[in-house]
Amino acid sequence: MKAVSKFLANRVVKSALVLLMIALFNFFLVRAAPGDPAEILAGQSGAVDAEFIEKLRQEFGLDKPIPVQLGHYLKNVATFDLGYSYRQQASVSSLILQHLPATLLLTLSAFAFALLAGISLGTQAALRVGKWGDTVITTLSMLAYATPLFWVGLMLVLLFSVNLEWLPAFGYESVGADLTGMARIADVAKHLLLPALTLGMFYMAVYARLTRASILEISQLDFVKTARAKGLSERTVIVRHVLRNALLPVITYAGIQAGGLIGGSLLVETVFAWPGIGRLAFDALVQRDYSVLLGVFFVASLIVVVVNIVTDILYTVADPRIELK
């Protein structure tokens, strides 16, 4: 317990430094952009009168020295005050909190699907190495890895929504249905299926190939041969000895890519009109609403930092020999 507390304290300090660097990057990124910062933050690029620009400059403290501005900005970030969107007439924090649940639902569903399907397919391929089952799984994995996400999404919409009419093509839930309880959950799940499948297919292919390679490598080690020599069943050898050790590189890679799912969701949310922070960032980019863009970037970075800490803890669960330091 003491080791866990020490590890968490150490990682929290390091994570705080990382987030500080990201906040500094955000601060200077806006000021490095061409044009007046007040115009950029308003997303107007000179399309407002001088009186309004001056009002913005005073409101954001842009008429004060840079060190004072920086201190004020870091204080706001520490309290999760990420600015104000004049395009949408709302605070950036409230906009992100409004759209974040949809993104988390999409990314977590896609991640769970990719991890479970990828490990299962990779294990089956490794157990059938050199046979037709291995060839089929490897070929499908390569195809899923090489196919662009937007094309997969459009083809799924064309097949399941346009031709078969089994699933809705766009949105988070049926507009105007006013469903509640299990009916609403089922409706959201129907809308979730295609975007989650689209986002998860690429990562599923990666996990499948990584699991297959890792299992084949672990299977040749001496402790696995010893387990078989003791008379243990093949199932026990695979589950307790091979798969548990083979999952370590998969966990590492999954931890790295879990944060990348947030970035990948931007494209998928745009294709399926999914109301998450990816779609929010895309709309902000089109509207040149830089306050929202930088807020989304900071929150996404925060999620990545948290995921990396959780990954390190899961590492010790998969292999007790690894100590938290």
Residues 191-240: pLDDT tens digits? 899 999 988 888 888 899 888 888 888 888 888 788 788 877 778 888 77
Does one domain contain both 40 and 178? no
Q: Report, as an integer, the average pLDDT of 318-324.
A: 59
List residues bridging with 85 in a β-sheet.
Answer: 90
Q: Which amino acid is at 52?
A: F
Q: What is the pLDDT of residue 23?
A: 84
Query: Tokens standing for 82?
Result: 């990420």
Q: Residue 151: inside a domain, yes or no?
A: yes
Q: What is the CATH number of the domain that holds 200?
A: 1.10.3720.10
Query: Tokens standing for 63?
Result: 């008429």
The total of other beta-carbon atoms located within 10 Å of residue 246's CB is 25
| Cβ–Cβ < 8 Å for 92, 83 | yes
B/e letters for 165-185, b = 16+ CB within 10 Å, e = fewer, are eebbbeebbeeeeeeeeeeee
The total of other beta-carbon atoms located within 10 Å of residue 251's CB is 17
Does one domain contain both 51 and 135? no
SS3 content of the chain, % helix, strand, coil (to 5): 75, 0, 20
In the chain, how many domains are there? Answer: 2
Minimum mean pLDDT among 46-50, 104-108, 172-176, 266-270: which range? 46-50
What whole-number distance in Å separates Cα of residue 179 and Cα of residue 258? 32
Q: Residue 91: inside a domain, yes or no?
A: no
What whole-number distance in Å separates Cα of residue 149 and Cα of residue 147? 6
What whole-number distance in Å separates Cα of residue 31 and Cα of residue 20? 17
What band does 305 get if pLDDT is binned at 50, 70 and 90? confident
Higher pLDDT, 9 or 39: 9
Q: Cα angle at 28 between 22 and 33, to 5 degrees?
A: 125
Does residue 272 surpass a pLDDT of 70?
yes
What band does 49 get if pLDDT is binned at 50, 70 and 90? low
Q: Residue 288: inside a domain, yes or no?
A: yes
What band does 311 get if pLDDT is binned at 50, 70 and 90? confident
CA 238 to chain centre: 31
What whole-number distance in Å separates Cα of residue 148 and Cα of residue 153? 9
What band does 164 get if pLDDT is binned at 50, 70 and 90? confident
Residues 113-150: pLDDT tens digits? 998 999 889 888 888 888 888 889 888 888 888 888 88
Does residue 282 surpass a pLDDT of 70?
yes
Q: What is the pLDDT of residue 11?
A: 77
Does residue 47 surpass a pLDDT of 60?
no
What whole-number distance in Å separates Cα of residue 289 and Cα of residue 86? 8
Q: Residue 227: inside a domain, yes or no?
A: yes
Q: Residue 95: inside a domain, yes or no?
A: no
Q: Residue 36: inside a domain, yes or no?
A: yes
Q: 43: alpha, beta or left, given left = phi > 0 and alpha = psi -120 to 50?
A: left
Q: What is the pLDDT of residue 45?
A: 47
Query: Tokens standing for 216?
Result: 């084949």
| Cβ–Cβ < 8 Å for 282, 289 | no
| Cβ–Cβ < 8 Å for 160, 194 | yes
What pTM was computed for the model?
A: 0.80
| Cβ–Cβ < 8 Å for 315, 248 | yes
Summary mean pLDDT of the chain? 80
Range of the domain at 260: 101-318
Q: What is the pLDDT of residue 133?
A: 85
Does one domain contain both 167 and 251? yes
Does one domain contain both 120 and 259? yes
Among 17, 44, 79, identify where a domain stops: 79
The total of other beta-carbon atoms located within 10 Å of residue 49's CB is 8
Does one domain contain both 55 and 138? no
The segment with the largest mean pLDDT, out of 59-73, 168-182, 208-222, is: 208-222
Higher pLDDT, 299 or 265: 299
Q: What is the dihedral of CA 30, 33, 36, 41, to 10 degrees?
A: -40
Q: Report, as an integer, the average pLDDT of 41-65.
A: 66
Higher pLDDT, 183 or 324: 183
Does one domain contain both 169 and 51? no
Q: Residue 32: inside a domain, yes or no?
A: yes
Q: What is the pLDDT of residue 259?
A: 67
What whole-number distance in Å separates Cα of residue 135 and Cα of residue 121? 11
Q: Residue 146: inside a domain, yes or no?
A: yes
